[in-house]
Structure 1
């Protein structure tokens, strides 16, 4: 991490929206959605007020992780085009303020989730914040091309936390939801890295595209996509799956595998405005892929509640 003098001067007065941006609201939305899914598909129902409180504090914990990530990464965020407009490198929020916000929200979210739900869920949330801020951001991200593989665990914990908030424990189903996101994360982020490779190169972040090249990255994407498919389909055989989920998953995985194959076979010599069209298309579909799997789980839960679900 570079000295604060290398960053932009804090010349603007921060607005409320800048502090919201500090929490990475787009990432937070994924945290909220997957955590809510974990909570709603669990075999134990929470009172709506308890459920709302649990999701609120999980969201705050996710935002705290984002603030701590932006605090630590403010030096490389200033270099990368994708992140130059973030609150710290743009000079709208001071680094020390970001650290204070991240630490304060971390403590509040963990304690309040423990009080609102249970301490198993709170412990998982605390570990998730630690894993994302310390293990991934401070250690893995700048030290190994496997950063996103191991670090992806941080983004995979929310459905486990939601499940634990409802049940007070961990089960095969919650572990499989974790595994789905964990295995999805590398191909998702490597696709992004393929068309944002210059950013990572300039910032000296050892993404797989930087250390091993684009061809090797495409092969890794294919391998992880192949490994992901049976795991995703296997959830259909658990208590939270069912025929609807299986049908949706079959279609999604067929399309995802076809996209990974196209990336692997693509011509490295392509040029022009559409040079990375395939990578961008794969990246966008990866978001749909994950979203629709969790929507299918919610649909199965709704059908079971109505007495029409299950095998």
Structure 2
């Protein structure tokens, strides 16, 4: 049996149980229908199902349990948080849906902006896994400056359909972020580097919105409170601005959320994108920053 057949069966089981608890027969019937739809070989038995349960926990971080009173299996959601596994599953399910359709351009409109620099992805993953130095040419858009870099790669991060490399620059031993679409002439060396003990990319960006982290020593995240009207608030609740988002008010007047973030260019640009739908309640310094930018923008449109 091919790996794609096994992965397809895993996703069918997960999708079925995400909808509602189901007996083994109900899971089998659903999987059989999906096989007929997508043209996969139908292979299902009690032994394969038990093996699938273990593999789904190991590979997809989804724990399938059995409810004896209902006599049905159910999914213990987020037993082990795994955003990467969820993203891979989403991409796979999208591929399956598009792959079965002829003439999809008639009714599926795909984003035409594709992330740049993806040709470096495989090489960077190799360097990250093997902890080896890399060299490349880097162009800064702000000043057009082009420099040669030698860095120890630490992680890859996605933000707004762009990919970035987090790395320690050997020139000044400082951790920096490099956009993949501005990297050229990438070379993976054989020079090993020693990884920083206990470093986690999730901790590094924990209080960041986007890919910018303040370089000033002693910089600390701040408590930020934002107000959205009732309609806009529904969107903010369904797709939080950041992992730190907490709801402080949610009624007919509107939604107040609280975030714990560094105040950076990325965050200010995000708040500006919401226009008049958002009011910064605190801190006062951020209110002043936003007012200054909006006043300057308003000067471009005299009546």
Fold similarity call, TM over 0.5? no
Q: TM-score, normalised by structure 2?
A: 0.24
Greater relative contact order (CA < 8 Å, ≥ 6 in sequence): 1
Please identify which structure carries the higher strand content. 2
Higher Rg: 2
